């Protein structure tokens, strides 16, 4: 992979830069258990990957016919739980890769997670100040897999999609990149579930592999 051919890197956060999906899931499970006595199923846990708390809460509330809680109630409580318990666990090589390219290329984050959490997590791993722009689910009308977030970063940083590289771990993120015309790489990180379908055009890499490629250039 020729990394020098790109002028902007766009990183997903959860399970791309940091191992956080299990922590998000545990916080969501606690929130909806407290509010509704509901226990997450394996299907729920799988559906949550790459999605938002509000989306999953709405699905469960509709399925169970709950009338005493709203998706906003669950999202708010989940946010409180994850902010209280979150531990920053960057994947090996991820932060080193970002720091290596700081000052050489524009850097950004596009995440379906809430703004407060994204900023908090990036500060915990000392990457927040290295980013030229950070976009979260609260900054757009449509979350990934819609490409709105990616297109906004491209436009605001003045780099066409063809010269951006998107780093993702989920099928929703890859779909957003493809729909927006962005080259993308699927990050294969320890403990992550791979998307059910991986387009043949999408390379799969680990952070140590990408770091080695960058050092070789």
- φ/ψ of 3, rounded to 5, equals -70, -25
User: What per-residue confidence (pLDDT) applies to 194?
Assistant: 83
Token pair in block for residue 201 = 């055009």
Whole-angstrom distance, CA of residue 214 vs CA of residue 100: 8
Residues comprising the chain, all counted: 217
Low-confidence ranges of the chain (pLDDT < 70): 50
Residues 34 and 7 in one domain: no
| Domain CATH code at residue 97 | 3.40.50.1000
Does 146 share its domain with 200?
Answer: yes
- Decide: pTM greater than 0.95: no
In a shared domain, residues 108 and 186: yes
Q: What is the sign of the dihedral through the CA atoms of 72, 77, 83 and 88?
A: negative
The range of the structural domain enclosing residue 105 comes to 3-19+88-216
Structural domain total, the chain: 2
Write out pLDDT tens, residues 76-100: 999 898 888 888 899 999 999 999 9
**Residues whose CB is less than 8 angstroms from the CB of residue 53 and which lie 6 or more positions away in sequence, other chains included:** 24, 28, 31, 71, 74, 75, 78, 79
């Amino acid at each position: 992979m020729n990394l020098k051919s790109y002028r902007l890197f766009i990183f997903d956060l959860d399970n791309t830069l940091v191992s956080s999906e299990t922590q998000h899931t545990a916080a969501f499970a606690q929130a909806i258990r407290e509010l509704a006595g509901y226990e997450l199923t394996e299907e729920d846990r799988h559906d949550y990957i790459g999605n938002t708390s509000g989306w999953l809460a709405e699905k469960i509330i509709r399925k169970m016919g709950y009338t005493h809680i709203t998706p906003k109630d669950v999202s708010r409580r989940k946010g409180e739980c994850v902010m209280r318990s979150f531990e920053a666990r960057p994947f090996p090589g991820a932060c080193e890769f970002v720091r290596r390219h700081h000052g050489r290329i524009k850097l950004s984050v596009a995440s379906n997670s809430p703004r407060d959490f994204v900023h908090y997590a990036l500060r915990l791993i000392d990457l927040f100040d290295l980013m030229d722009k950070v976009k979260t689910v609260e900054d757009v009308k449509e979350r990934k897999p819609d490409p709105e977030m990616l297109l906004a970063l491209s436009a605001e940083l003045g780099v066409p999609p063809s010269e951006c590289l998107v780093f993702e771990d989920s099928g929703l993120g890859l779909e957003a990149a493809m729909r927006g015309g962005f080259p993308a790489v699927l990050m294969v990180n320890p403990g992550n579930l791979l998307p059910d379908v991986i387009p043949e055009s999408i390379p799969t890499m680990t952070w140590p592999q990408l770091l080695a490629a960058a050092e070789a250039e």
